[in-house]
Amino acid sequence: MAFEKSCGAIVYRKFHGNTEVLLIKHLKSGYWSFPKGHSEGDETEVETALREIKEETGLDVFIDTGFRETVTFSPRRDSTKMVVYFVAKAKNGDVLPQASEISETKWVEINKAMSYLTYDNDRVIVSKAKAFIALMK
């Protein structure tokens, strides 16, 4: 059984008094999710998340390790994948999608994110992130 590990984040910003999260639409599969990707070498989870967010969106972010949630699933019959998600605050809102992997990006008010997300696991994560972000001032 193969094992894969990816790390990423629910990237958010405050915009006109609202909390918005960044969603990405994957080019090959067409599903909406959050920036994430595979660890390389001896990267830490945070280093992987920072690199993948930068590669996929062009954004620099502040990662809050106080929020760490995992999702485990089986993308293929003979493999297990674990995704580690953090919450990350965008330093700016100027997204530059990675054309080879991302077909579209969208800042969405956090309460509306559920209607875009393709997978239930992502809906659970964004609900938890929403509660976490609400506690931050």
Strand locations in 1-137 (E)? 2-15, 18-26, 32-33, 36-38, 61-73, 79-90, 102-109
Q: How far apart are the first and last CA of the chain?
A: 43
Backbone angles phi, psi at 34, to 5 degrees: -120, 155
Read off the pTM.
0.93
Contact status, residue 59 vs residue 53, Cβ threshold 8 Å = yes
For residue 56, the SS3 value is: helix
Residue matched to tokens 């918005």: 20
**In this model, does residue 45 exceed pLDDT 80?**
yes
pLDDT of residue 54: 97
**In this model, does residue 20 exceed pLDDT 70?**
yes
pLDDT, tens only, 98-123:
999 999 999 999 999 999 998 899 99
pLDDT, tens only, 46-84:
999 999 999 999 999 999 999 999 998 887 788 888 999
Helix H segments across the chain?
Answer: 45-57, 120-135
pLDDT of residue 137: 58
